[in-house]
Amino acid sequence: MTTINKILQILFFAFIIWLFTKIFIFQTFQIYTPSMHNSMHEGDFILVNKLAYGPRFPITPLSLSWGNQHLFLDWIKLPYLRIPGYSSVKKNDIIVFNLPIPNNLPTDELTEYVKRCVGLPGDSILIDNGQVFINGEKLVETENILFNYTITSNGNNIDSIVLNKLRNYAPNNRFTGNKHHVFISENNADSLLNLKDINFVEKNITPKEAYSSKYFPNNAAVKWNIDHFGPLYIPKQGDSIVLDNKNLIFYKKIIEQHENNTVENKNDSVFINRKYAKTYTFKMNYFFVLGDNRYNSIDSRYWGFVPENHLIGKASFILYSSNNK
């Protein structure tokens, strides 16, 4: 065997080992948006553990990805299949998944997102005045969660050096006179009152009557917003719902797009795959996710549920942080 052949053989086996590791064990993921401040920051590289929830077999095996770039051929499409993991998704896990929109691409070629899971299959979620409740109980959240505050000063410039020393401080760069709008944790909002020149700190909550169609379920019949949302049942595999007009507002999309059915309404009757149906039983589990930077995050409040087959893995730890200074 020539030296060139030996080198090619080594490179081939190295590639196979790398590919196996990336598909079945772990992969790296770079953070591109501020939605997970202050847990993760733009430029951070995280390790995604695929063994935790079970590695997902490739759906489009003829694909190549590097960074946030993807190339693929859809000549071969495989059905969804996952090897069982050693754990299940738990509340407050930070998960990496394929964004469930748009629906014109294979699942594993959709944009990869990272968010915190706050709602599990079978849960009922409610957001009231910005506070998350699961099954009627206030969710115990990490201290890293950032909220939207208005800081009123006495007219003097606030010492930005002092502000930046506060852990979890994150401005959104909007200033109006002596009012300063910032994304900051609740604990550090209280700490701001101890600074000189600060007169008042107020959490900004969207009025309940405010409505925008950008929020799930994107229907004027349900007037929710970023701070007043729900209650909403999160589908669980094997659970059934009544097929009435109200439930179809919330679940028609996933019944059609993620569970591969057709849904028709005819004279107040519902037909699934052209068969009359009074109820529907979900085939998959679904999850509800939020960004830690609660007011600067596009998450389940906008596009709804994360299907189980979109899960990639658990964000285990930060390999490199751009915020280490």
pLDDT digits (tens, 9 = 90+) for 58-104: 888 767 666 566 676 777 888 999 999 999 999 999 999 999 987 77
Report residue 311 as tokens: 């899960």
In the chain, % of residues over pLDDT 70: 89
Confidence (pLDDT) at 197: 72
What are 185-228's pLDDT values in tens digits?
A: 888 888 777 777 778 889 999 999 999 999 999 999 999 999 99
Tokens read off for 259: 């569970």
Is the dihedral angle over the CA atoms 185, 186, 187, 190 positive or is it negative?
A: positive
Angle at 302 between CA 143 and CA 290, to 5 degrees: 20
The mean per-residue pLDDT over the stretch 172-190 comes to 73
Query: What confidence category does residue 231 fall into, taking pLDDT thresholds of 50, 70 and 90?
Result: very high
Alpha helices in the chain (DSSP H): 3-24, 160-165, 186-192, 245-253, 300-303
Rounded percentage of the chain residues whose pLDDT exceeds 90: 59
Within 10 angstroms of residue 233's Cβ, the number of other Cβ atoms is: 18
Q: What is the pLDDT of residue 301?
A: 97
CA distance 16 to 20: 6
pLDDT > 90? residue 173:
no
pTM of this structure: 0.90
Task: Please identify which residue in the block is written with the tokens 């507002």.
Answer: 249
Per-residue pLDDT of 104-145, as tens digits, reads: 788 888 999 999 999 999 999 999 999 999 999 999 998 889
| pLDDT given at position 66 | 61
Residue 168's pLDDT band (boundaries 50, 70, 90)? Answer: very low
pLDDT at 67 (0 to 100)? 58
Domain covering 25-123+287-325 in this structure, CATH number: 2.10.109.10
Distance in angstroms (rounded) separating the CA atoms of residues 85 and 69: 27
Domain ranges, ordered by start, for the chain: 25-123+287-325, 147-203
Reported as a pLDDT band with limits 50, 70 and 90, residue 157 is low
pLDDT tops 60 at residue 13: yes
